[in-house]
């Protein structure tokens, strides 16, 4: 057995790395004073620290936040992912027979197949339809994702998509009369417009809070809203539902104090409450409707 003594012939035990006991190290961590081998050494602002101290220090460092509580966003990756998802679904609609009927939303089938409240927001009816929606999503999603952070932004988008479908449901009726021979209750809809209008609503609320000039945003919103009454086959009800929902989500984010953990928890609780209200409104609407024929699958 070798005699592990320090250089110079004294009887002191040779220092070894706590993480690698078989490695001798005469370099000590500037923070904790323990020996640290080359594998565990990390360059610090002053001297060398061991990997354990570096990890412990990182826990105490406050990470930079976006203006409304999320992690700082360098690239709007969620916006890119949403656009990519819509494009993939649109390609699937063209290539997979029957996919349209599996993802569209209509009030008459929403009760028995509730996933359609969300899936319809990722499908589109034409190249112009998806092109326009994705352009708006890119323009407004970039700024909102950087302001809210990835997860808050994605949550606002999905809740707004739900709000668009719920708005369409609430403003529809299964009643068909001589003066109203058709009903939106049976008319299927697709498109990210409800979610995109939710981003419009959120952007307006955040801009008002920041004291920004929103006249250009209001003009853009008015022009897009008018299309729902000018062009055929445009579900203005979904636009309105998404707009109101997105504005409400942004209001919840603003009301909670982002600077404290409790405030950030209140943001999430508020967003969950909005989603719950939408679900409750859906349940009440369907309960108020008597027997409705089911659209054939």
Q: Give 212-266 pLDDT, tens digit per residue.
A: 888 888 888 787 777 666 666 778 899 999 999 999 999 999 887 555 566 778 8
Is residue 277 situated within a structural domain? yes
- Dihedral sign of CA atoms 158, 162, 163, 164 in order: positive
- Both 116 and 225 in a single domain? yes
Look at residue 67 and tell me if it is in a domain.
Answer: no
Based on the fold, state whether residues 190 and 232 are members of the same structural domain: yes
What phi, psi does 196 have (nearest 5°)? -65, -40
The pLDDT of residue 4 is 46
The secondary element (H helix, E strand) that includes residue 42 is strand 41-43
Percent of the chain whose pLDDT exceeds 70: 81
Specify if 117 maps to a domain: yes
Asked if 256 and 120 sit in the same domain, the reply is yes
CA distance 95 to 72: 38
Quick check: is 210 in a domain?
Answer: yes
Nearest of 86, 76, 111 to residue 193 by alpha carbon? 86
CA gap 130, 286 in Å, rounded: 30
Let me know if residue 153 belongs to a domain.
yes
Query: 123 with 42, same domain?
Result: no
Q: Are residues 26 and 159 in the same domain?
A: no
Residues 214 and 264 in one domain: yes
Q: Which helix (H) or strand (E) holds 273?
A: helix 261-288
Catalytic residue from among 57, 66, 193, 212: 193
Per the domain annotation, does 2 fall within a domain?
Answer: no
| Residues 153 and 30 reside in one and the same domain | no
Structure tokens at 8: 């110079």
Helices 150-170 and 77-95: angle between axes, nearest 10 degrees: 50
The SS3 assignment for 45 reads: coil
Whether 66 is in a domain gets the answer no
169 and 29 assigned to the same domain: no
Looking up residue 82, the CATH number of its domain turns out to be: 1.20.1540.10
Per-residue pLDDT tens for 261-294? 667 788 899 999 999 999 999 999 999 886 545 4
Considering the candidates 124, 129, 150, 239, report the single residue annotated as catalytic.
239
| Residue 130 forms part of a structural domain | yes
- Shared domain check, 121 and 29: no
Does the active-site annotation cover 160? no
Range of the domain at 49: 14-53
- Return the sign of the alpha-carbon dihedral for residues 130, 132, 133, 134: positive
CB within 8 Å of 251: residues ≥ 6 apart:
205
Same domain, 156 and 257: yes
Distance in angstroms (rounded) separating the CA atoms of residues 199 and 130: 16
- In this predicted structure, the answer to whether residue 6 has a pLDDT above a threshold of 60 is no
Model pLDDT, residue 61 = 55
Number of domains in the chain: 2
| Residue 62, phi-psi category: left (phi > 0), alpha (psi -120 to 50), beta (remainder) | beta
> Are 18 and 106 part of one and the same domain?
no
Burial group, residue 65, by CB count within 10 angstroms (0-12, 13-18, 19+): middle
Q: Is 25 a known active-site residue?
A: no
**pTM for this predicted structure:** 0.75
Residues 159 and 38 both lie in one domain: no
Task: Assess whether pLDDT exceeds 50 at residue 296.
Answer: no
Cα–Cα distance for residue pair 228/197, rounded to 1 Å: 12
What digits encode the pLDDT tens for the residues 102-143?
A: 999 999 999 999 999 999 999 998 999 999 999 999 989 998
Range with the lowest mean pLDDT among 7-21, 122-136, 194-208, 214-228?
7-21
């Amino acid at each position: 057995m070798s005699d592990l003594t320090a250089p110079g012939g004294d009887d002191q035990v040779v220092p070894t790395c706590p993480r690698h006991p078989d490695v001798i190290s005469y370099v000590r961590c500037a923070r904790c004073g323990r020996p640290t081998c080359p594998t565990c050494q990390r360059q610090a602002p002053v001297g060398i620290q061991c990997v354990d101290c570096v990890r412990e220090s990182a826990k105490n460092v406050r990470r930079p936040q976006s203006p409304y509580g999320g992690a700082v966003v360098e690239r709007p990756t969620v916006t890119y992912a949403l656009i990519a998802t819509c494009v993939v679904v649109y390609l699937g609609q063209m290539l997979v027979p029957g996919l349209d009927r599996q993802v569209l939303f209509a009030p008459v089938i929403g009760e028995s197949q509730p996933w359609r409240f969300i899936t319809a927001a990722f499908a589109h009816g034409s190249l112009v339809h998806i092109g326009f929606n994705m352009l708006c999503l890119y323009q407004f999603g970039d700024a909102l994702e950087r302001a809210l952070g990835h997860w808050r932004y994605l949550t606002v988008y999905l809740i707004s998509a739900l709000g668009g479908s719920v708005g369409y449901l609430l403003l529809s009726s299964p009643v068909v009369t001589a003066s109203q021979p058709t009903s939106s209750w049976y008319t299927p809809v697709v498109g990210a417009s409800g979610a995109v209008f939710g981003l419009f609503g959120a952007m307006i609320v955040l801009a008002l809070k920041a004291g920004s000039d929103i006249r250009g945003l209001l003009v853009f919103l008015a022009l897009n809203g008018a299309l729902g009454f000018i062009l055929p086959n445009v579900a203005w009800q979904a636009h309105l539902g998404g707009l109101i929902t997105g504005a409400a989500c942004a209001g919840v984010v603003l009301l909670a104090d982002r600077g404290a953990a409790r405030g950030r928890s209140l943001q999430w609780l508020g967003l969950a409450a909005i989603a719950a209200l939408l679900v409750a409104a859906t349940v009440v609407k369907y309960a108020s409707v008597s027997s409705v024929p089911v659209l054939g699958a």
